[in-house]
Amino acid sequence: MVGRRDLIELEEPREKAVLVGAPLKTVPPRLAEEHLQELERLVDTAGAEVVGKLLQRLDSPHPKYFLGEGKAEELRDLVKEVGGTLVIFDEELTPAQGKNLEDLLGTRVMDRAEVILDIFATRARTAEAKLQVELAQLQYMLPRLTRMWAHLSRVRGGIGMRGPGETQLETDRRMINHRISRLREELERVGRRRETQRKGREAIFKAALVGYTNAGKSSLLRSLSGTDAFVEDRLFATLDAATRLVDLGDGYEALVTDTVGFIRKLPHHLVASFRATLEETLNADLLLHVIDISHPGWEEQKEVVDEVLEDLGLSHRPQVLVFNKVDRLTHAEEEVWRPRAAALFARPSVFVTSMEEGGVEPLRDLLRDRVRGRNREVEILLPVTSGGMLAEIYREGEVLGREVEGNGISLRARLPEAVLGRLRQHPGVKIHDGA
């Protein structure tokens, strides 16, 4: 009989990955190296071990292997030397290039988009996120079926193969297209439910945290709200939109939503699939573009986020730049960037950190000013019996003055338009501009 101390816990062996960077020669060498380092972080997040790297700068991608033929053969030798079980390209490969490389290298080949999709698949927690990831994976897989599934290599035609039946490849394509349609329908239903939920909170100010992955959005949300938003120092630590009610002080509140992080070369299918989640940004009163100012490539990361926001039709939404992780800057660096940021990017900006006490207060103050500025200052005369309306005014707005006048209560207050609209429906209430 085997005792407990004799049991051996087995772990699944990690894939041994060889990374390949093949940027155009127009990309600066420093950026090319940073891109390969980011791919290494993605691969680590996906659970593989990097055992080798290869970099070739190209005038243009080669149609057969993406790399030049000589470099592709060098890659084959490297894979054998380091015992690689997987080759990952930082660029998106065509189905033909992927198949040609696998035939040459004798090992599995993936590109950056596939790695990102794999990470999203392992990190999806809610039913909505799982639907979104599955949809993106199927859309990516559809044109690559022949390469990805070896058993689908048969083609129609030829002696003994003619007839009314479908090949396995055609059957699977039809099934995947059917599944894609079902997933889209389900996500539309999710979107309608989300829209109903949003209607119930139209009166409250809404802000959405957007930014490059790992910029610190979840940490900021946790610091602002005092709740247990999930935080992990890894790429795409969270996928599901998390919304928290944030107390801004002086009786003001806002709903702040943490959205999925963006990244360079984010697969288009993934952006499209996560549109339902990103609709929280479409309906936000303010976008908080979080930037990790301690990252050496933060300016390029900012441009990537700007491009994704433009693709989503959000580039003209009110936006504030939130320069995060200022605790990692030297005093001299901070002194340089504080005055330059707003002028350089022509947008309001704040500098924050979630690692120091009071480090997020500049952002809280900014949100409070935005909420206050949205509310209109008015004079209101209420009947003394209108206790419910009086409570709503105190709850939803800011009371600046109060007097009792005979059978009425005179208030000077700042209130959202939605609250003013409800008050106007009561015949005993009189409202005048307070200016």
In a domain, 157, yes or no: no
User: Same structural domain for residues 409 and 297?
Assistant: no
User: Same structural domain for residues 175 and 228?
Assistant: no
The burial of 383, by beta-carbon neighbours within 10 Å (0-12 exposed, 13-18 middle, 19 or more buried), is given as middle
pLDDT on residue 292: 94
In a domain, 233, yes or no: yes
In a domain, 164, yes or no: no
User: Same structural domain for residues 420 and 329?
Assistant: no
User: Same structural domain for residues 291 and 404?
Assistant: no
pLDDT on residue 229: 55
CATH code of residue 413: 3.30.70.240
pLDDT in tens, the chain (435 residues): 445 555 554 456 788 999 999 999 998 898 889 899 999 999 998 889 999 999 999 999 999 999 999 999 999 999 999 999 999 999 989 989 999 999 999 999 999 988 988 888 887 777 887 888 888 888 888 887 765 544 334 343 443 433 444 566 778 888 889 999 999 899 888 878 877 766 655 668 899 999 998 888 989 999 999 876 555 555 665 566 678 899 998 878 899 988 878 888 887 777 766 665 566 677 788 999 999 999 888 989 999 999 888 887 888 889 999 999 999 988 888 888 888 776 778 788 999 999 899 999 999 999 999 988 877 788 888 888 888 888 888 877 778 888 888 788 888 888 877 788 888 888 888 888 765
H or E segment and range at residue 416 = none
User: Same structural domain for residues 184 and 279?
Assistant: no
CA dist 208 and 278 (Å) reads: 9
DSSP at 97? H
> How many independent structural domains does the chain possess?
4
User: Same structural domain for residues 185 and 229?
Assistant: no
Residue 90 structure tokens: 């930082």
User: Same structural domain for residues 142 and 128?
Assistant: yes
User: Same structural domain for residues 220 and 81?
Assistant: no
In a domain, 316, yes or no: yes
User: Same structural domain for residues 178 and 196?
Assistant: yes
CA distances to 54, 74, 84, 313, 363 from 208, rounded to whole Å, are 39, 47, 42, 15, 13
pLDDT on residue 374: 79
CATH code of residue 321: 3.40.50.300
User: Same structural domain for residues 100 and 226?
Assistant: no
* Biggest CA pair distance of the chain: 100
Contacts of 369 (CB under 8 A, 6+ apart): none
pLDDT on residue 240: 63
User: Same structural domain for residues 381 and 262?
Assistant: no
List the domain range (segments joined by +) for residue 39. 15-119
Residue 271 structure tokens: 């952006």
In a domain, 142, yes or no: yes
User: Same structural domain for residues 132 and 274?
Assistant: no
At position 394, the amino acid (one-letter code) is Y
pLDDT on residue 279: 66
Q: What is the pTM of this model?
A: 0.76
In a domain, 112, yes or no: yes
Long-range contacts of 384-391 (CB under 8 A, 24+ apart): 384/408, 384/409, 386/426, 386/428, 386/429, 389/423, 389/426, 389/429
In a domain, 401, yes or no: yes
In a domain, 333, yes or no: yes
